Amino acid sequence: MFNAKITGTGSYLPEKIVTNKDFESILDTTDEWIYARTGIRQRHVIAEHETTSSMAEIAAKNALDAAGVDASDIDLIIIGTSSPDRIFPSTACILQNRLGVGDCAAFDVQAACSGFIYALGIAHQFIKSGGAKKALVIGAEANSRILDYSDRSTCVIFGDGAGAVVLEASEEVGILSTHMHSDGQYKDLLYINNPIKDQQQDGENAHMTMLGNDVYKVAVKTLSRIVDETLEANNMTKSDVDWLIPHQANIRIISSVAKKLKMPMERVVLTIEEQGNTSAASVPLALDLAVRDGRIKKGETVLMEAFGGGFVWGSALVKM
């Protein structure tokens, strides 16, 4: 059995920024409403020539540089995404080609906003069992490609971006545990329709639908439960956690999880105001930010958690 350690992080945000104010001219909404209900002020949106794999490539290269690992040494690539370049081949395969990596395993994980946590959990199992030595684990989303810009209840929430980590087999303890759950009974509360079927039947493009308030209620309860589960699995208490890196869906959900952990907000990494909800990319984007600005230090314990359409939810407790 091997330990798996995060040895490098990286991220990418597209240059273009869309502010809440920008939406005021095209939708029946206000900056005040969006900020008060979500904590979001702006989000990044990809340019015409960019794709999920092009964002993932930059994030991956940054993480490889930080880890001091050559792309040719990577033997596993997993991308959490719900906005892939194509239905197949996977965005991970397209990234493999962009990076010029050999014939290692490369696949996408579709676990909505929990995609990165799922990808990290799977990569952890690969490394633990000796099935891989150096993995690229990524969350990348081109949410703007799957939003209906006439639906004010979804289009103001989501943004684009990518975050990546290099996970390596190590002597040192790194990932302490990962936890993954799902409950398909909630499949109609947050989903993207199937473009293949729907385009043939009624000409509808793929777009996201969310019954936000119903999602909100389950998210708060579920994320509180997974915090307990994660700490219990590691015989740890709340005070053992140095940093919380939550999925950035809503500042009110984040605050209630922080409260449950008795964690002051200064110990919570927040990106929601500047980045909005970047689905599977939100946790690795926040991780990279706090590693690079020096907040998260080597040896500290970080709790990551996410919740999304399915519902799917998960957590990872990590010693950096």
What backbone phi and psi angles, to 5 degrees, belong to 98?
-60, -35
Answer yes or no whether residue 29 interacts with ligand UT7 by CB under 6 A. yes
Answer yes or no whether residue 35 interacts with ligand UT7 by CB under 6 A. no
Residue whose CB is less far from ligand UT7, 131 or 212:
212
The answer to whether residues 218 and 186 touch, using CB atoms and an 8 Å cutoff, is: yes
Known active-site residue 113? yes
The distance of closest approach from Cβ of residue 23 to ligand UT7 in the complex, given in angstroms and rounded to an integer, is 7
Part in contact with ligand UT7 (CB under 6 A); list of ranges 61-69, 70-78, 100-108, 211-219: 211-219
- Judged by CB under 6 A, how many residues of this single chain contact ligand UT7? 21
Known active-site residue 155? no
The distance of closest approach from Cβ of residue 156 to ligand UT7 in the complex, given in angstroms and rounded to an integer, is 5
**Which residue carries 């969350």 as its tokens?**
139
Residue whose CB is less far from ligand UT7, 107 or 216:
216
Residue closest to ligand UT7, measured at CB = 212
Part in contact with ligand UT7 (CB under 6 A); list of ranges 32-40, 50-58, 255-263, 312-320: 32-40
CA atoms of 242 and 299, how far apart (whole Å) = 10
Known active-site residue 247? yes
Q: How many CB atoms lie within 10 A of CB 259?
A: 12
Q: For residues 150-209, which are near ligand UT7 according to CB under 6 A?
A: 152-153, 156-157
The distance of closest approach from Cβ of residue 89 to ligand UT7 in the complex, given in angstroms and rounded to an integer, is 26
Tokens of 60: 């991956």
The answer to whether residues 169 and 192 touch, using CB atoms and an 8 Å cutoff, is: no
In angstroms, the Cα distances linking 248 to 63, 165, 176, 283 are 21, 18, 22, 7
CA atoms of 157 and 20, how far apart (whole Å) = 10
Q: How far apart are the first and last CA of the chain?
A: 19
Q: For residues 260-319, which are near ligand UT7 according to CB under 6 A?
A: 277, 307-308
Answer yes or no whether residue 37 interacts with ligand UT7 by CB under 6 A. yes
Part in contact with ligand UT7 (CB under 6 A); list of ranges 72-80, 170-178, 196-204, 214-222: 214-222
**CB-based contacts of 22, cutoff 8 Å, min separation 6:** none
- Residue 163, strand partner residues: 11, 139
The distance of closest approach from Cβ of residue 243 to ligand UT7 in the complex, given in angstroms and rounded to an integer, is 20
The answer to whether residues 209 and 190 touch, using CB atoms and an 8 Å cutoff, is: yes
CA atoms of 201 and 165, how far apart (whole Å) = 40
Answer yes or no whether residue 38 interacts with ligand UT7 by CB under 6 A. yes
Answer yes or no whether residue 109 interacts with ligand UT7 by CB under 6 A. no
Tokens of 51: 């794709």
Catalytic residue among 113, 143, 207, 250: 113
* Binding stretches for ligand UT7 (CB under 6 A): 29, 33-34, 37-38, 113, 152-153, 156-157, 212-213, 215-216, 219, 249-250, 253, 277, 307-308
Tell me which residues are annotated as active site: 113, 247, 277
